[in-house]
Amino acid sequence: MRTRTKFGTGWAAVVVSAAAVLTVAASPADAAAGGSGPYPADYETSSSLVNHTIYRPSTLPSERLPIFVWGNGGCAANGTAQINFLREISSYGFLVIASGAPNGSGSTTSSMLTQSIDWAVAENARSGGKYYGRLDTSKIAVGGWSCGGLEAYAVSNDSRITTTLIFSSGLLNDGDDYQLKRLTKPIAYFIGGPSDIAYPNAMDDWGKLPSALPAFMGNLNVGHGGTYDQTNGGEFGRVAVLYLKWRLKGDLGAGATFVGSDCGLCHSQWQVQQKNLTLGDGTPPSTPPVTPSPSPSGNPGCTAAYTVQNQWNGGFVAGVVVTAGSAALNGWRVTLALPGGATVTSVWNAVNTGTTGTVTMANQSYNGQLGPGQTASFGFQGTGTGGGASATCSAS
């Protein structure tokens, strides 16, 4: 179920205004000069790629540059709106192309991301050009923040794309879920935690990904605005560099930031989830995933841990983690006893029966099977106060 209470048509106005604020905050005068990487970077434009901003190391290194194309927050056509963040990435040896001219105005479309890829591939093949043979066109990532994340989804089925990065975004309508079903390349989500307006939709998308797709989910409790305008893009800049170094450059040390039960982000301020992740060519995570048995034996019990993730005057967001017992589950059901005055208004990654008092939450078709000790999570938004609820779990 796609939540719409705090999301939906109003989101476009929210992200556009947020992008306008960050455009001012991330002006070139405020940017960290060159980024923190070994190849100080800056931006340029090209007459053959109008209405785009190209970030590159000031001196091209001997190594070929992988490519990262970016959709801005609010789908704003300002290629320097997230300059600190994008220049930081480029300083680690990437060609980064943002939709929109430097300090530009207007709106972008997903086709501009495709134009960025087309241009980079053509420039790499253009004899006499400065990028001739200097780009690694076999390693291309697409990403975007908020509305720009929706643009990244829209082109993620391009066969040239190696991986997709979604920052504080999620599909707005269930009718767009086909974009999830067609994903075949690794994807990573970097979300601003429960206070991020995109959080419910991002978590809904996470639960609907193809079962075998390699995927990473990281939540940092900074809200929808992220850290793009901080020095070197802040924490989002740091983890984006590491993820791209892993996926586009094969850096297994960087990959260890995201893979396994002892990953670099697993014991930090980030809240981490992983699906089907391995390091390099088949190197398994430190705790391999368990395949559920079709005929569970032992005690097919489960537990449910309830937490209030965000509370405001008149409403709240809560999350529940279901953990299988000593045997595999083919399905689960959580019974919630809500406090007086609390009403469920929207749910993701579960199917609810009832909205007040005693409410039952059952698994969706894609998250019911759990191996012994494995977990699944769901969440919901409600009115009233979330504190004081209790949760019990049973196999179904």
> In this predicted model, what pLDDT tens digit does every residue of 301-354 receive, in sequence order?
899 999 887 777 788 878 888 898 888 899 999 999 999 999 998 887 789 999
| Residues 179 and 156 sit within 8 Å (Cβ to Cβ) | yes
Type of residue at 323: T
Per-residue model confidence as pLDDT tens for the chain (396 residues): 554 433 333 444 444 444 343 333 333 333 445 899 999 999 999 999 999 999 999 999 999 999 999 999 999 999 999 999 999 999 999 999 999 999 999 999 999 999 999 999 999 999 999 999 999 999 999 999 999 999 999 999 999 999 999 999 999 998 999 999 999 999 999 999 999 999 999 999 999 999 999 999 999 999 999 999 999 999 999 999 999 999 999 999 999 999 998 999 998 999 999 999 998 643 333 333 333 333 333 346 899 999 887 777 788 878 888 898 888 899 999 999 999 999 998 887 789 999 999 999 999 876 788 888 888 878 788 899 999 999 999 998
Contact 274, 288 (CB under 8 A): no
Per-residue confidence (pLDDT) for residue 214, from 0 to 100: 95
Q: What would the two tokens of residue 164 be? A: 């997709």
Q: Under DSSP, is residue 305 helix (H, G, I), strand (E, B) or coil? A: strand
| Closest-CA residue to 149 (of 90, 198, 100, 196) | 198
Asked whether 361 and 304 are in contact (CB, 8 A), the reply is no
Contact call for residues 362 and 378 (beta carbons, < 8 A): no
Q: Where are the beta strands (DSSP E) in the chain?
A: 41-46, 49-57, 65-71, 95-99, 135-145, 163-167, 187-191, 215-219, 271-275, 302-312, 315-324, 332-337, 343-348, 351-353, 358-362, 375-383, 390-395
Angle at 258 between CA 167 and CA 193, to 5 degrees: 40
Token pair for 333: 């059901």
pLDDT of residue 9: 36
